[in-house]
Amino acid sequence: MALRVGVIGYGGRISGVIKSCIRALDDTVKVAAITDIRNDEIRRQLGAEAEGITFYDDADRMLDSERLDGVLIGTRCTLHTPMAIKVMSRNLPMYLEKPVAVNLEQILALHEASKRYTAPCVVSFPLRLSPLALRAKQLIEEGAIGRLEHIQAVNNVPYGSIYFDCWYRDFGTTQGLFLQKATHDIDYLCFVAGDRPKQVAAMMSRARVYGGDKPAGLHCTACDEFETCPESPFWKNRQTGLQPGWRGNADHPCCFSVDIGNDAVGCNEDSSSCLIQFESGLQGVYTQNFFARRDAGARGATLIGYDGTIHFDWYTNVLKLTRHHENETVSYKMGSETGGHGGGDMELGYDFLRAIREQKPSRSPLAAGIQSALVCLTCRQSAEQRQFLNVPYPA
């Protein structure tokens, strides 16, 4: 039976998920309806594909008018919670982009709505379902390193200037890079460890690398440093700084302008870190950086027990297990055909299909999205207040 899905916010991320991770697995899935504020532009972009899609400018009207098997939400961050609550009130299966919420009010509203919501929800956390994370979880559960005692997790983002040169630079929308970026990493760490954070102590550095005194609204092509700035699209400036092929040579807002913000008005971090005390007593540390480049890119974790150490990194797609009391280290190299986010994107698509076809529970559920958003928000507050804070889980 052909499946009909509706989309709220048909932007870059969700259109990619639909094409590469849902319709690639099942091309009978049909986008029946779209709600967006750019409907004319989307119609033009889709061309012939737009025929048969009904466009709405109001999510409630779409949800009331269409018979849908499931809904995908791909708006920017601040609208995830309000749109999710609309879908949840119709008890429809849902694919929800992260972060699922950006403030405590939204987190609590989502938590309340989830008590009456029984349909499956797939939160867009691909890392937890990547083969690397699943292998790490399996090895820990088999006892390969003994009881997990210590986590050291890193995310050195070699494409980090996107958080300063496009819509992501708007702190009002992202609410900072714990919620925007670390939400993935905090989630996979909890998933792999089978534990949840009790207390966090965080720190962040802002407006030391990005931001500055260039005028608000400045774009590269109007700047007198166009030919020399490493963030400029001029010739090869950016290609040598970012991963090859990433983002091309498009003009963009200045990464070093006053409108990036600062500590007083809020802005995305250049780097940020947190200590995490988990409920079991497990200790963790996570640190993220947005100005490392090229081969310095790293994303993964070292997980240590008395009996062994697991280390994995999504840039190499390798997991290494060292057994402390045997003369042995084993490496697992994951296949290169796994797709986006170390293969996790495809797994999310698979879970959404099972959710809408069979009502099968998701391996990336709403509760995980809510938990991660709450931990990340608590990290930001800890950094702002320079205090250890307990994570205030709702009842």
Ligand X SMILES: NC(=O)c1ccc[n+]([C@@H]2O[C@H](COP(=O)([O-])OP(=O)(O)OC[C@H]3O[C@@H](n4cnc5c(N)ncnc54)[C@H](O)[C@@H]3O)[C@@H](O)[C@H]2O)c1
Q: From the CB of 166, what's the least distance to ligand X, in Å?
A: 8
Residue 195 found at the interface with ligand X (CB under 6 A): no
Considering the complex, state which of residue 122 and residue 304 has its C-beta at the smaller distance from ligand X: 122
Among 1, 37, 48, 264, indicate the residue that binds ligand X (CB under 6 A): 37
Of 8 and 301, nearer to ligand X (C-beta) is 8
117, 42 in Cβ contact below 8 A? no
Measuring CA to CA, how many Å separate 261 from each of 105, 213, 264?
24, 10, 8
Which of 5, 6, 10, 68 is close enough to bind ligand X by CB under 6 A? 10
Size of the site for ligand X (CB under 6 A): 22
Residue choice 3, 29, 62, 77 for contact with ligand X (CB under 6 A): 77
User: Which is closer to ligand X, CB of 124 or CB of 378?
Assistant: 124
Rule CB under 6 A: choose which of 5, 87, 95, 98 binds ligand X: 98
Which residue number is nearest to ligand X in terms of Cβ?
A: 11
Which of the residues 168 through 187 are near ligand X (CB under 6 A)?
180
Answer yes or no whether residue 11 interacts with ligand X by CB under 6 A: yes
Sheet holding 94-96, edge to edge: 54-56, 30-35, 4-8, 70-73, 94-96, 121-123
Block residue for tokens 């929308």: 173
Residue 189 and residue 116: Cα distance in Å, rounded?
28
- Between CA 257 and CA 231 the distance in angstroms is 12
Tokens standing for residue 183: 């939400």
Touching ligand X, residues 12-31 (CB under 6 A)? 12-13
Binding segment (CB under 6 A) for ligand X, from list 22-30, 73-81, 268-276, 372-380: 73-81
Write out the residues near ligand X by the rule CB under 6 A.
8-13, 35-38, 74-77, 79, 97-98, 124, 126, 167, 180, 341
